[in-house]
Structure formats: C-alpha cells, structure tokens
Amino acid sequence: MLRGDRVLLRAITKEDAVSLHRLNEEVETAAGATTSPWVPETVDQVVAYYEGRKPDPANVGFAVQAISSGDLLGTGSVWGIDTLNRNGHLGISLLPEARGHGYAPDALRLLCDYAFRIRGLHRLGLETLVTNSAMIAAAEKTGFRREGTLRAHAWVAGSFVDEALFGLLASEFHDPRTTKEL
Ligand SMILES: CC(C)(COP(=O)(O)OP(=O)(O)OC[C@H]1O[C@@H](n2cnc3c(N)ncnc32)[C@H](O)[C@@H]1OP(=O)(O)O)[C@@H](O)C(=O)NCCC(=O)NCCS
C-alpha cells in the first residue's frame, strides 16, 4: 500500500470491481479514456476480469482510495513498463462522484512514486485527449511536461480528437511529501 496526503493506492478487490463497473457505463468518457473500443460489460464480466488477472509486473493496476472516508475513488495504473528502457505510462480514472475534488494530483504523485522509487523507472509518459482539461491540469501539477500533440489521433464518439503527449523524467520528479509505505 502506498499512502499520500489524501489518497492511498492498494490492490483492487472484488468489491472494488463492482463499483469500477460504473466507469464503463459512461460511454463517451470511457471511450476517450482508453485506446480500446467501448463495448458494454456486465458487472459479472468486470468482476471476472479483475478476479482472473494475475499480477503483471509490466501493467500494474491500483485501487485509489480516499484516506479520510475510506471510499473507493477509482483506479490508477502504471502500464506498458519496459524494463530495458526503464519507461512506462500512467493512467487514471476516477468515479464520477470522486472527480473535481482535487484527488487526481495526489494519486498521480503516488503512481510516479511507485514507478520511480519502487520500480526504478527513468521516464513516464502520459497521454490524454486535448479536450481533457482536468487530466491536463492534474498532469502539469504533478510535473509532467507537454512534449507534443498527435493530431486527430483518437476517434471519440463521432469525431477525431488530438492527443496530448506528456512526459516526466525521474530526475524532474520532486515529491514534496514523504511517501509512506504501510
Ligand atoms: C482526469 C481525472 C482523473 C482528473 O481528476 P479530477 O478529480 O477531475 O481532477 P482534480 O479535481 O483532481 O483536479 C486536478 C486539477 O485539474 C483542475 N481541473 C479540474 N477539472 C477541470 C476542468 N474541467 N478544466 C480545467 N481544469 C480542471 C483542477 O482545478 C485541479 O487543478 P488545481 O488543483 O490547480 O486547481 C478525472 O476527471 C477522471 O477520472 N475523468 C474520467 C476518466 C479520464 O478522463 N481519465 C483520464 C484518461 S487519460
């Protein structure tokens, strides 16, 4: 478990999977947040997906939990870890009721802490639609720099949207907090 100021990162449980199913019910948000095409999924399918997943050191998923309430806020991941080049990518999706409360930068900092301190990575990438102002603000607040734009890269609910590319090097990551392991 990794603990920040307001959130902690821990393993995803079966009970979490039931709640996380709601992320898939927002079609446009889900379609814009991943590279896979949106398809409908039942709660049982989502639970079976999480239950069937074996720990994968190259794609590490976490539940994001509020410290104060204990509520599940959403999910975050360090994915596509390349151990030769020591890079990887960050992803995060918060449940609708958890958005807009300022949790995202703390969750992103913890994901960076896991990637840089625990896994020894050198570089992280973060890709998001140029229309995703909250994600862009949270990434910049964590220290990510915008490195480019992929024009009309993503087909999202009826139109092509540009994708913004962000990067953060381990040497640039200055975590103002002391991250504690429990
Ligand atoms: C992207 C996401 C994780 C951001 O989390 P959030 O809870 O909405 O954002 P936060 O409340 O933590 O705010 C982070 C920063 O973004 C700013 N922000 C939030 N919403 C904003 C908006 N619509 N426009 C501009 N800035 C915004 C906040 O002001 C804050 O900056 P500040 O602390 O300097 O004020 C969340 O919106 C989400 O899960 N969205 C759906 C899934 C998704 O898009 N995932 C990302 C795929 S790449």
CA distances 37 to 31, 93, 119, 156, Å, are 6, 16, 30, 9
| Per-residue pLDDT tens over the stretch 100-149 | 999 999 999 999 999 999 999 999 999 999 999 999 999 999 999 999 99
CATH 3.30.365.10 fits 2-177, yes or no: no
Distance, in Å, from the CA atom of 89 to the CA atom of 78, rounded to the nearest integer, reads 6
Ligand 1, atom 35: closest residue by C-alpha:
102
Q: SS3 of 96, please? A: helix
Segment 86-109, tens digit of pLDDT: 999 999 999 999 999 999 999 999
Closest atom, ligand 1, to C-alpha of 98: 7
Asked if the model's pLDDT at residue 178 lies above 70, the reply is no
CA-closest residue to ligand 1 atom 10: 102
98 HSE (CA, 13 A, CB side): 28
Prediction pTM value: 0.94
Task: Give the closest residue to 143 by CA, choosing from 116, 181, 161.
Answer: 116
Pocket of ligand 1 contains residue 122 by CB under 6 Å: no
* Pocket probe mutation, ligand 1, options 90, 92, 142, max atoms within 8 Å of Cβ: 92
Residue with CA closest to ligand 1 atom 48: 128
Residue with CA closest to ligand 1 atom 14: 138
**132 CB near ligand 1 (under 6 Å):** yes
| pLDDT tens-place string over residues 11-46 | 999 999 999 999 999 999 999 998 889 999 999 999
Query: Would you call 100 helix, strand, or coil by DSSP?
Result: coil
pLDDT at 182: 45
